[in-house]
């Protein structure tokens, strides 16, 4: 790696506790009860590029470095790991200062505050995206195994039912998985990890827990991943965009029924 990662606490780790507990009042047929409930934490992450504020992302306090890499790539500020010279993460993992090789234009940031659910940033405004033509294929049996593993792997989701997940996988196994309160953030974390670890995304498929938006499809297409698995029913616009982008869009439900919405030639029986 050519870039330097540091933090004001002197540690490279940026993972904080993703959950906390709060006192609540539970009402059941048996009556009222005061208990503690485990919920997800949400923190604002300020990203500065070349000493100028680029965005504030509302996110889970975990895998911050991956999130920053994925976000900067998705927004077009970097094209590879080599474009990043230095990353400085503060001790609370709420601010990141990034130095990149090329000039940074603050006016390019259309919406400085980015909610956990995503926003209309630069990645959503790309008019032309190359059609994904990868020949990767996956069997229905492999899809069932991957989705079953994916849905059972998140301890944070099991504890809170309030987290989104994304993963990059080969047909045989999940390689990288990331969680976040925002589905866009989870996807950026996965792609950021792929960039940092030099994983060729065009040879792998993507798995997402939440609904597929047009911006997420554009992110998948930008990384040339040919197959996208989800447990959620897509919208008509999502299906149309996946078809136009050349992405095989597949839903695998909790009972492991498989539905291919477009480009089903990549799915084998």
- Of 219, 254, 255, 215, the closest CA to residue 235 belongs to 215
- The pair phi, psi for residue 113, each rounded to 5°, is -95, 120
Report the pLDDT value the prediction gives residue 125, as an integer from 0 to 100.
Answer: 46
The H-assigned helical ranges of the chain are: 64-74, 140-152, 155-160, 183-197, 214-222, 236-245
- Which pLDDT band holds residue 259 (cuts at 50, 70, 90)? very high
- Which pLDDT band holds residue 124 (cuts at 50, 70, 90)? very low
Handedness of CA 71, 72, 75, 76 (dihedral sign): negative
Q: Taking the model in full, what pTM does it have?
A: 0.88
CA atoms of 215 and 210, how far apart (whole Å):
13
Average pLDDT, integer, range 62-66: 94
Under 8 Å between Cβ of 125 and 153: no
Give, as one character, the DSSP assignment of residue 223. Answer: T
Give the number of other Cβ atoms within 10 Å of residue 34's Cβ: 8
Long-range (24+ apart) CB contacts under 8 A made by 20-23 are none
Cα-Cα-Cα-Cα torsion 255, 261, 263, 266, nearest 10 degrees, comes to 0
Mean per-residue pLDDT over the chain, rounded: 87
CA atoms of 220 and 43, how far apart (whole Å):
25
Under 8 Å between Cβ of 66 and 194: no
pLDDT in tens, 196-207: 999 999 999 999
pLDDT in tens, 177-188: 999 999 999 999
Buried-state track 213-228, b at ≥16 Cβ within 10 A, e below 16:
bbbbbbbbbbbbbbbb
Tell me which of 25 and 269 has the higher pLDDT. Answer: 25
CA atoms of 211 and 231, how far apart (whole Å):
8
pLDDT of 98 above 50: yes
Residue that has been written with the tokens 């993703």 in this structure: 18
> Do strands 95-100 and 43-49 pair parallel, antiparallel, or not at all (unpaired)?
parallel
Structural domains in the chain, CATH included, are: 4-10+42-124 (3.10.20.10), 138-268 (3.40.140.10)
Residues with Cβ within 8 Å of 26's Cβ and at least 6 positions away in sequence, in order, are 32, 33, 34, 35
């Amino acid at each position: 790696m050519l870039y330097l990662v540091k933090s004001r606490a002197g540690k490279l780790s940026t993972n904080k506790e993703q959950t906390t507990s709060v006192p609540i009042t539970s009402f059941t047929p048996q009556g009222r009860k005061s208990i503690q409930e485990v919920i997800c934490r949400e923190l604002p992450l300020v990203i500065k590029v070349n000493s100028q504020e680029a965005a504030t992302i509302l996110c889970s306090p975990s895998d911050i470095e991956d999130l920053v890499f994925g976000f900067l790539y998705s927004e077009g500020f970097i094209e590879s790991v080599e474009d990043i010279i230095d990353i400085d993460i503060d001790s609370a993992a709420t601010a990141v200062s990034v130095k990149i090789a090329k000039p940074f234009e603050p006016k390019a940031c259309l919406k400085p505050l980015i909610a956990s659910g995503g926003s209309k940033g630069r990645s959503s405004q790309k008019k032309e995206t190359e059609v994904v033509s990868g020949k990767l294929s996956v069997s229905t049996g492999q899809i069932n195994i991957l989705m079953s593993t994916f849905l059972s792997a998140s301890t944070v989701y099991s504890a809170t039912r309030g987290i989104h997940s994304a993963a990059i996988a080969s047909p045989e196994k999940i390689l990288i998985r990331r969680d976040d309160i925002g589905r866009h953030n989870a996807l950026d974390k996965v792609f950021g990890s792929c960039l940092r670890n030099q994983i060729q995304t065009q040879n792998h498929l993507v798995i997402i827990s939440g609904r597929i938006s047009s911006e997420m499809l554009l992110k998948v297409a930008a990384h040339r991943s040919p197959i996208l698995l989800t447990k959620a029913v897509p919208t008509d616009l999502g299906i149309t965009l996946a078809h136009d982008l050349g992405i095989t869009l597949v839903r695998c439900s909790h009972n492991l029924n498989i539905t291919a919405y477009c480009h089903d030639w990549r799915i084998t029986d």
